[in-house]
């Protein structure tokens, strides 16, 4: 007899299932907009020049591969923290901010969730409706009840500010609120600066615990502007958790590069928190891997490579923006009268296109254009070779 006999088959990840279907599609004009990855204009995942330079240097050094500390590489953590808080932020200088290297943004969320479960066992977690699908899974598996707050308004293709604010105000003190600090996934819809101020005030007044997820820093308005929400929350003088991911911004998806940053009330508190985070990490995977962390750390801490990276990241951001503009124009060129200008206001890699489930299905079946059932398309997978086919196909299914 097997102890696994009663194990049920789990449902497939819908996006991975879509990829498998795409891979077996034999049509030459097929386009995969279901992915969550940045592709260059040739349809390839880029290897950034800054990354390549840092990798060359690492190979030249023939560095041994000993274990890293449990919390990862110190210069990596410092670099990741500076990207969030800026140079010489008071929280960093006073030792109230702490950062640990994690296995991607997912690893940061998971370590943060396990730690919170330890300190706030009875708290509830709320995520945006809709949100990145793994948010729910990570917090539920950590033992939390997960609810949603209103976020996206399908009628306006915009942000439901009043709905979100009212929901936050009604939450019990201590509730953990997961917020997308920029470039909301899956909708591409972000609150305005003024709205963020009111959200932050509400979080503080209601006594909520903000967990900021920033997986697309640099893809909105640039590295500094995209950190403004993090810096706003950092100025509130409350406990804050931040998960950051470099998967997209360094195009290092498989290297699992991320960081978890916590903002504490004092240096002493920060030391105690770090000691507990180390236990969470130690009992999960002991310590993070060396390669990706070293590469990112080298880029962040070498001025010439940092400058090169900033330029390459701007290139990715501008290419996505250009694709948004072209998509909206080409839809008009193909006779679409419905207003798609909201696509221009969205930020980051994704767009909630407003396409219905049926339209998404027709796109796939009739035109080989793959999108997520929710209507989410990855604008970063559009390129000069496929955008015309995509625009024409959308025009046909509308």
Q: Which residues are catalytic?
A: 132, 213, 248
Residue choice 210, 220, 258, 375 for contact with ligand PLP (CB under 6 A): 258
Binding status of residue 217 toward ligand PLP by CB under 6 A: no
Kind and range of the H or E run holding 15: helix 14-24
**Segment contacting ligand PLP by CB under 6 A, of 50-58, 85-93, 103-111, 376-384:** 103-111
Binding status of residue 112 toward ligand PLP by CB under 6 A: no
Question: Closer to ligand PLP at the Cβ: 259 or 390?
Answer: 259
Q: Which two tokens stand for residue 278?
A: 């180390």
Q: How far apart are CA 262 and CA 242, in angstroms?
A: 6
Give residues 126-165 in contact with ligand PLP (rule: CB under 6 A). 132
Smallest distance from the beta carbon of 39 to ligand PLP, in angstroms? 14
Binding status of residue 215 toward ligand PLP by CB under 6 A: yes
Mark residue 202 as left, alpha or beta (left: phi above 0; alpha: psi -120 to 50; beta: remaining). alpha
Site string for ligand PLP, 34-73 (x = CB under 6 A): --x-------------------------------------
Which residues is 32 bridged to in the sheet?
370
Q: What does residue 72 show for φ and ψ, rounded to 5 degrees?
A: 95, -170
3-state secondary structure 144-201: CCEEEEECEECCCCEECHHHHHHHHHCCCCCCEEEEECCCCCCCCCCCCHHHHHHHHH
**Segment contacting ligand PLP by CB under 6 A, of 99-107, 272-280, 309-317, 376-384:** 99-107
Q: Which two tokens stand for residue 99?
A: 């950062």
Return the SS3 of 127. strand
Binding status of residue 79 toward ligand PLP by CB under 6 A: no
Binding status of residue 213 toward ligand PLP by CB under 6 A: yes
Site string for ligand PLP, 175-194 (x = CB under 6 A): -----x----x---------
Question: Closer to ligand PLP at the Cβ: 105 or 220?
Answer: 105
Q: What angle do CA 138, 142, 144 make, to 5 degrees?
A: 95
Return the SS3 of 123. coil
| CA-wise closest residue to 284 among 157, 122, 132, 117 | 117
Q: How far apart are CA 375 and CA 155, in angstroms?
A: 14
Binding status of residue 101 toward ligand PLP by CB under 6 A: no
Smallest distance from the beta carbon of 60 to ligand PLP, in angstroms? 27
Task: Catalog residues that contact ligand PLP under the rule CB under 6 A.
Answer: 36, 104-106, 132, 180, 185, 213, 215, 245, 247, 258
């Amino acid at each position: 007899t097997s102890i696994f006999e009663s194990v049920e088959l789990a449902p497939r990840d819908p996006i991975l299932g879509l990829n498998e279907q795409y891979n077996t599609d034999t049509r030459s004009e097929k386009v995969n907009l279901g992915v969550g990855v940045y592709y260059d204009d040739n349809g390839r995942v880029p290897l950034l020049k800054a990354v390549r330079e840092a990798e060359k240097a690492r190979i030249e050094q023939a560095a041994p591969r000993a274990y890293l500390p449990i919390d990862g590489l110190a210069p990596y953590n410092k670099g990741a923290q500076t990207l969030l808080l800026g140079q010489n932020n008071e929280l960093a200088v006073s030792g109230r901010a702490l950062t640990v290297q994690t296995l991607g943004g997912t690893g940061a969320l998971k370590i943060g969730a396990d730690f919170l479960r330890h300190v706030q066992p009875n708290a509830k977690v709320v995520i945006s409706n809709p949100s990145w699908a793994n948010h729910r899974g990570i917090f539920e598996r950590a033992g939390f009840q997960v609810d949603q707050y209103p976020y996206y308004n399908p009628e306006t293709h915009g942000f439901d500010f009043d709905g979100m604010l009212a929901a936050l105000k009604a939450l019990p003190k201590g509730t953990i609120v997961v917020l997308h600090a920029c470039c909301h996934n899956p909708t591409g819809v972000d609150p305005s600066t003024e709205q963020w101020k009111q959200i932050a005030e509400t979080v503080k007044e209601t006594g909520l615990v903000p967990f900021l997820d920033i997986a697309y820093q640099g893809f909105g308005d640039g590295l500094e502007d995209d950190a403004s929400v993090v810096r706003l929350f950092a100025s509130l003088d409350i406990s804050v958790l931040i998960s950051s991911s470099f998967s997209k911004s360094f195009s290092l998806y498989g290297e699992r590069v991320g960081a978890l940053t916590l903002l504490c009330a004092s240096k002493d508190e920060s030391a105690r928190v770090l000691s507990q985070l180390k236990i969470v990490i130690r009992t999960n995977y002991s310590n993070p891997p060396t390669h990706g962390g070293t590469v990112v750390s080298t880029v962040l801490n070498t001025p010439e490579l940092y400058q090169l990276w900033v330029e390459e990241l701007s290139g990715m951001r501008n290419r996505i923006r250009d694709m948004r503009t072209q998509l909206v124009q080409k839809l008009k060129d193909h006779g679409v009268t419905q207003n798609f200008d909201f696509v221009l206001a969205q930020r980051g890699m994704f767009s909630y296109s407003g396409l219905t489930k049926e339209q998404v299905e027709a796109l796939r079946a009739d035109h080989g254009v793959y999108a997520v059932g929710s209507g989410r398309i990855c604008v970063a997978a559009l390129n000069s070779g496929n955008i015309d086919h995509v625009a024409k196909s959308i025009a046909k299914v509308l």
